[in-house]
A and B are shown apart, each in its own frame.
Chain A
């Protein structure tokens, strides 16, 4: 498809969006069902209107269990006067790859304008104390490859039900609650933790499979386990949280798991802990925290037939991360910086050493940084950096010349939000190192590549209502 045709398609797409918007000119926002519940616009809860970055108000909205607003109380059986608590997100993109050989990027969306992601949201205020965030996502390009084709995937995405209460005194403020969700760190309200960083737009990243991350940051913790946690936030300053996550293979809680959990590791009860210090001064807000999880992951995996191998030996991943955030929120300027430094100690079961891994223990250090500026909640730029260093392990990381897991990537992005629920952007993922090398000596399927071969760029438009 020529660039001209692509531009005309994008123009036609924008016109369609404009028509849709003209039909619904009122409030719509990041998760618009929440906007309909409070009647506020995106910028109330999201920094410069950019989801998923949460403002101070957005953090409190989530910590108080998504219950602020005027959804009727179930007990009183009031008639629902507002739109149903459902939202839809649609994202289309055209992606480009430096290398589109079958076997590396397969039939990934290297040359087509595609509707890539469709998400449905439900939830919001259920009672005075209970609320939910429920997301279901379909992706044209999922995480698995059949032959040279990337298979589509759909299933439950980030989902959480919360009970929360808030007790205020003349000089005190205590928010506390409990939750059930399907991913560790999904509960968090600062955009420094694994679930809520580097996910600003969904896209097919050609280098993901070759760029190892900590267990806590990996797909293994996404919607393949169920967690129960409790938290408290004192005086808008001190935050503490504890949770336990576990894979479930039968029973009602399995509705929280992605249908395609086949092949995901089974997790024994694994504790998650979070502490954070939060300080807000005028338009500035700061957060400094620590979070960590000890994950016990079976080498046997979940099976689609419902028979899961709990007998497999167990690997242990001890992850601890320091994280920090700074935000400046005052129209017309919105600015946010996030950082996370993670350290992982992985201990592998004896039967894995020599077959899946070379070493009985490995370490992995992950650095994540991003900075975002938005002007008038319309024009924005973002720069993200992610890098990993760790133990060399020829069996675990066969691609690099010395078994190194090290990689580095920079991701600049610019975007424009002509309306608060439409975002059009361009981003480029630029790998400067992979497999411990910056040169052209990566071995993948018998062919040599350089880190740049995994670069991914994307022109996208997302619409949410």
Chain B
């Protein structure tokens, strides 16, 4: 038997061994036997980091929100909205609709609990200090002249969130800005289906509508700087 044949035989053997299902280290999103924890490790960690906030100490791509310490109820709601396609912002459609399409309620709950229990860490990205200061003012005081209430009222003094209201502290500014745009129905929802990208966030629609583009960036920069 030539060397190459031996190598091929060994490879075939390895492949045969691999044919055994391995639910503890599976990346199968359609198998209800795979735990939420395993999916968090094997699939979600690729973009959201093993701990929901970084990968080997380096910041995640801002396309993917930090999940560590996020409110469990909020996470469960969002996963369900990806699953049933009711959350329709561009990134949700591109990335999350497919990944969540076969998740069971048990897996969704386990994923939400896993990330809620991870420790949030400061975001290493830094915004412009002037914008951060302006964003802080908006967060604490709102913009009464535009009928925008203080964000802290619902999201908490430290933007830690509360139940269905998400934690925002330390979140990527780019992600927050894009979501504020997703809430915005400025162009008129009758003619613009994208205006309902997050139809369940009814409260945020009016608030986002009241913020200027610059104010959205300012408050996003401030929230990113919070720990």
**Chain A interface (Cβ < 8 Å from any Cβ of B):** 27, 35, 38-41, 43-44, 56-57, 60-61, 64, 67-76, 78, 125, 127-130, 161, 163, 165-168, 170-171, 173, 178, 180, 226, 228, 235-237, 244, 246, 248, 251-253, 269, 279-283, 329-331
Q: Which residues of A contact B19 (CB under 8 A)?
A: 74-75, 127, 129-130
Evaluate contact between A282 and B99: CB separation under 8 angstroms: no
Q: List 18 A-B contacts (CB under 8 A).
A: A38-B29, A38-B99, A40-B98, A41-B93, A56-B47, A56-B61, A75-B20, A128-B21, A166-B41, A173-B45, A173-B56, A244-B7, A280-B61, A282-B58, A282-B62, A283-B62, A329-B63, A330-B62
In whole angstroms, how far apart are the Cα atoms of A248 and B61 in the complex?
44
Out of A71, A73, A228, name the residue touching B7 (CB < 8 Å).
A228
CA distance A130 to B21 in the complex (A): 10
Residue from A44, A78, A168, A252 in contact with B50 in the complex, judged by beta carbons closer than 8 Å: A168
Min Cβ gap B136→A in Å is 23
Known: A41-B94, A167-B25, A253-B8. A70 touches B46 (CB 8 A): no
Q: Separation in Å of the B33 CB from the closest CB of chain A?
A: 9
Contact A129 B98 (CB under 8 A): no
Closest chain A CB from B177 CB (angstroms): 11
Nearest first, the 3 closest Cβ-Cβ pairs linking A and B are A39-B98, A70-B30, A129-B18
- A65 CB to closest chain B CB, in angstroms? 9
B55 at the A/B interface (Cβ < 8 Å)?
A: yes
Residues in chain B near residue A43, CB distance under 8 A: 94
Contact of B60 among A228, A251, A282 (CB under 8 A): A282
The minimal Cβ–Cβ distance linking A37 to chain B, given in whole angstroms, is 9
* Distance A74 CA – B3 CA, assembled complex (angstroms): 31
- Please name all residues of chain B whose beta carbon is closer than 8 Å to the beta carbon of A61 when the two chains form the complex: 46
CA distance A434 to B21 in the complex (A): 55
In the complex, what's the smallest C-beta–C-beta distance from B32 to chain A, in angstroms? Answer: 11
By a CB distance below 8 angstroms, the chain B residues around A170 are: 50-51
B63 surroundings in chain A (CB, below 8 A): 283, 329-331
Q: Is the CB of B28 within 8 A of A125?
A: yes
Across-interface contacts of B153 in A (CB, < 8 A): none
CA–CA, A461 to B94, complex, Å? 23
Contact in complex: B94, A40 (CB < 8 Å)? yes
Say yes or no: is B14 at the interface (Cβ < 8 Å to chain A). Answer: yes
Knowing A57-B47, A330-B174, the reply to whether A236 touches B56 (Cβ < 8 A) is yes
Note all chain B residues with C-beta closer than 8 A to A279.
Answer: 58
Query: Given the known A-B contacts A70-B30, A75-B19, are A165 and B25 also in contact in the complex, defined by CB atoms under 8 Å?
Result: yes
Q: Chain B residue with minimal CB distance to A284?
A: B61
Contact with A along B53-82 (1 / 0, CB 8 A): 001101111110000000000000000000
Which of B4, B26, B56, B97 is within 8 Å of A226, CB to CB?
B4
Instruction: Say whether B43 faces chain A, with CB atoms less than 8 Å apart.
Output: yes
Q: Which residues of B contact A56 (CB under 8 A)?
A: 46-47, 61
Residue from A39, A163, A166, A282 within 8 A of B97 (CB atoms) = A39
Whether the pair B58, A173 counts as a contact (CB closer than 8 A) is no
Distance, CA A263 to CA B67, complexed state (A): 56
Query: Is B102 at the interface (CB under 8 A from chain A)?
Result: yes
Contact status B21-A76, CB under 8 Å: yes
Complex: A129 Cα to B98 Cα, angstroms: 20
Among A68, A180, A246, chain B packs the most CB atoms within 10 A around the CB of A68
Contacts of B23 in A (CB 8 A): 128
User: Given the complex of chains A and B, what is the CA–CA distance between A70 and B30 in angstroms?
Assistant: 4
Look across to chain B and name the residue whose beta carbon is closest to the beta carbon of A329: B61
A85 to chain B, nearest CB (A): 13
Q: Does B95 contact A (CB under 8 A)?
A: yes
With A35-B98, A38-B99, A173-B55 known, 20 other A-B pairs at CB within 8 A are: A40-B98, A43-B94, A44-B94, A44-B95, A57-B46, A73-B28, A78-B30, A127-B20, A128-B23, A130-B19, A161-B15, A166-B42, A171-B50, A226-B4, A244-B4, A246-B4, A251-B5, A253-B4, A329-B63, A330-B61
CB distance from B199 to the nearest CB of A (A): 21
Contacts of A67 in B (CB 8 A): 27-28
Partner of B56, one of A40, A75, A129, A235: A235
Scan B92-107; emit 1 where CB is below 8 A from any A CB, else 0.
0111011101100000
Q: Is the CB of A73 within 8 A of B61?
A: no
Per the bound structure, the CA–CA distance linking A70 and B42 in Å amounts to 13
A163 to B11, CA, bound (A): 9
Chain A, residue nearest B63 (CB):
A330
In the complex, the answer to whether A71 meets B98 with C-beta atoms within 8 Å is no
B227 within 8 A of A: no
Partner of A168, one of B15, B31, B45, B93: B45
A128-B15 contact given A76-B21, A329-B63, CB 8 Å threshold = no
A282 contacts which of B41, B51, B59 (Cβ < 8 Å)? B59
- Known A40-B98, A173-B45, A173-B50: A68·B27 in contact at CB below 8 Å: yes
Chain B residues with Cβ under 8 A from A128's Cβ?
18, 21-23, 25-28
Please measure, in the bound complex, the distance between the C-alpha atom of A248 and the C-alpha atom of B20, giving whole angstroms: 30
B157 contacts chain A at the CB level, 8 A cutoff: no
Contact between chains at B125 and A282 (CB < 8 Å): yes
Give the Cβ gap from A336 to chain B, nearest Cβ, in Å. Answer: 14
- Closest-by-CB residue of B relative to A246 is B4
B154 within 8 A of A: no
Given contacts A226-B4, A228-B7, contact A68 B29 (CB under 8 A): yes
- By a CB distance below 8 angstroms, the chain A residues around B58 are 279-282
Interface residue? B90 (CB, 8 A): yes
Q: In the assembled complex, which residues on chain A have CB atoms less than 8 Å from the CB atom of B26?
A: 128
Q: Which of A73, A236, A283 has the most CB of B within 10 A?
A: A73
Per-position contact with A for B32-48: 1 when CB-CB < 8 Å, else 0? 00000000011101110
Q: Do A69 and B27 have beta carbons less than 8 Å apart?
A: yes
Task: Check if B201 is an interface residue, CB within 8 A of chain A.
Answer: no
User: How many Å from the CB of A229 to the closest CB on chain B?
Assistant: 10
Pairwise interchain contact B99-A331, C-beta atoms closer than 8 A: no
